[in-house]
Structure 1
Amino acid sequence: MQESFYRSLLTYSYNIVGSLEDARDLVQDTMEKYIGLDKSTIQNERSYLIKSVINLSINFKKRSEKFSKYGIWLPEPIATEETDAHLIKRQVANYSLLVLFEELNPKERAVFMLKESFNYKHDEIAKVLDISVENSRKLYSRSKKHLAQTEIKKDLPPKNCMAPYIDALMEGDTDKLETLFADDIALMADGGHTVKVVTRITEGKERTAELMQYVYAMFLNGKECVFNYINHQPALWFKNNGKVISCMVFQFDNEKKFKNIYSIVDPDKLNSLYLRNEGFNGNKIDKLLSSLNPN
């Protein structure tokens, strides 16, 4: 029960802050403070902890200004097809939404996430965020309007959806690549503070095809290529000696053309792809969990 509840808290926080590492820290901070509290006035411990984590995550997001020295800041990728990712898979926001969440203020982001991912009603959201029901409705309407052009369904495309793309890369066929791309395709790259990227954002299918072919020929040719689902979207990992050096997440439009490509080469963000098998036992979280009994 405790581990399941921890996963739930972690998922709330991750959807708000977009970083698994920060979400872990925020959940741990919440649990440590909770253990030292006088609980005689807390009627529902579970609701109290959920509310605390969500509001702490909102405040953290307000204070933090995420940026990458090289490229554009992108959320930390999560392999949602792995059962041991420490998150509630079905409630993790898809990657395209997480990217667009960065354009919302933290409270709008939280309202949308609670409504869409966790099926909260507006009166429940109002209690968690200490706002009125009317304000919750307005924040949800505003965020939903902003995100209206983004697909929020989690119907996974088949694994062979990337085969034409991989073939075109290996053949060095930029014309073939262009046929796979939407006219308004955009490529966003995040190198963090250590890995230089060719460009932050590239738009248009001709420029994107040329850049993807260049990156593949210069840096990825000969590397192990693995298909996976990242935040409910198809993705390719490129590995060198077993280590993930690049993760590309793909968004399709309604015509099954590539609409957005998110390229993450920041080693710190790729770390989460190695930590899927990390256990709870023997760490600080495990000790904190053993002392909790949320009703």
Structure 2
Amino acid sequence: MDSDNTFRAYQPLLFSIAYNMLGSVMDAEDCVQETFLRWHRAHNDNEAIQSPKSYLCAIITNLCIDQLRSTRAQRESYDGIWLPEPVSTLEPGEHVEMSELLSIAFLRLLETLSPVERAVFLLRQVFDYDYDEIARIVGKNAHACRQIVYRARQRLASQRPRFSVSAEQSAPLFERFIQATADGDMEALLQLLTKDVALYSDGGELRWPMPIYGAQEAARYLIEVARRVSQQTEWRWQLVAINGRPGVVIYAYDRLDAVFAFEVVDGQIQEVDLIVAPGKLRHLQATI
């Protein structure tokens, strides 16, 4: 297999690593492109490469670590809650490993880890690399990588989404959610939300302190958002697969305007992630 075909064979894996590391399609694609350029230069220089997969994964992982370090301050000063860019899995593209995409909620949780912790955790927990190989990729010893994974598991354990639901199970729930929100029906909406629901939004005209905790406050916010949108525009919604899980997209005058991602526990909504930043929706607009 020539070098270009070898790279293409691993491209879906490389994109998945980069996207889960960065939470941004554009940044992930840039890292994949830079990985290709370095791979190509290595072959032109006749560099000895024993394992193409390990070589490529090491390049893209370290590119992502550098990218996260450079954007960390920007994300910490983000106006509102930083949420990752959603990826449509309704019609998977050739460069995406669907089974390895993490939910919006879990990608948000990974922001609590340092860039190296995030890399080690993902390579072990999502991509099933052994510790010796992870150590070679990130430049640490295997024992240190084990400790990083252990601490990351401990930190994320209490917050990790506990259940997933199928599109068939979630469609009626999300339809009732949208209808209750649009109707301003507080009681109906409260029945769909857990008492300790958490709501995260990355912007919009309605400047409420984020995150919002508790069913009453979350319902009030959602109803107010819907009221303002209804006054200004014609809108519709569609159930789609977002990051491999059922979600809802909102269209205003047939333009993608917002994305809802959810975590569901025992038939109620435990977390709502509302993504409205236009820059995060451009890629999605072209794929759904």
Q: TM above 0.5, one fold?
A: yes
Evaluate the alpha carbon distance shift between residue 69 and residue 99 of structure 1 in structure 2; reply closer, same or farther with a 3 A threshold.
closer
User: Which one-letter code corresponds to 2:264 in the other structure?
Assistant: F
Q: Secondary structure at the match of 2:207?
A: coil
Which runs of structure 2 are paired with 1:229-240 in the superposition (5 Å)?
229-240=241-252
Corresponding residue for 1:110? 119
Q: Is the 8 A contact 1:10 1:27 kept in 2?
A: yes
Q: Secondary structure at the match of 1:93?
A: coil
1:116 Cα offset (Å) = 2.0
Q: TM-score normalised to the size of structure 2? A: 0.87
Higher relative contact order (CA 8 A, sep 6+): 1
Select between 140-149 and 82-91 the one with higher mean Cα deviation. 82-91
Q: 1:252 aligns with which of 258, 264, 272?
A: 264
The whole-number CA distance in structure 2 between the counterparts of 1:69 and 1:116 is 28
- Per-residue CA distance 1:161-189 (angstroms, 9 max, x = gap): 31221231233211111121112212111
Corresponding residue for 1:63? 70
Evaluate the alpha carbon distance shift between residue 249 and residue 99 of structure 1 in structure 2; reply closer, same or farther with a 3 A threshold.
same
Kindly indicate whether residue 284 of structure 2 is the aligned counterpart of residue 273 of structure 1: yes
Corresponding residue for 1:29? 34
Q: 1:156 aligns with which of 166, 173, 184?
A: 166
Q: Secondary structure at the match of 1:104?
A: coil
Over the residues paired in the alignment, what is the CA RMSD in angstroms?
Answer: 2.1
- Per-residue CA distance 1:94-140 (angstroms, 9 max, x = gap): 21110000001111111221122212122222222221111111111
Corresponding residue for 1:283? none
User: Which one-letter code corresponds to 1:270 in the other structure?
Assistant: L
Evaluate the alpha carbon distance shift between residue 152 and residue 183 of structure 1 in structure 2; reply closer, same or farther with a 3 A threshold.
closer
- Per-residue CA distance 1:192-235 (angstroms, 9 max, x = gap): xxx43432322211111111011112115741101112123332
The whole-number CA distance in structure 2 between the counterparts of 1:151 and 1:213 is 25
The structure carrying a bigger helix percent of its residues is 2
Corresponding residue for 2:141? 132
Gaps (5+ residues) in structure 2? Answer: none
Q: Is the 8 A contact 1:72 1:188 kept in 2?
A: yes
Corresponding residue for 1:98? 107
Q: Secondary structure at the match of 1:184?
A: strand
Corresponding residue for 2:216? 206
1:259 Cα offset (Å) = 1.4
Q: TM-score normalised to the size of structure 1? A: 0.85
The alignment covers a number of residue pairs equal to 273
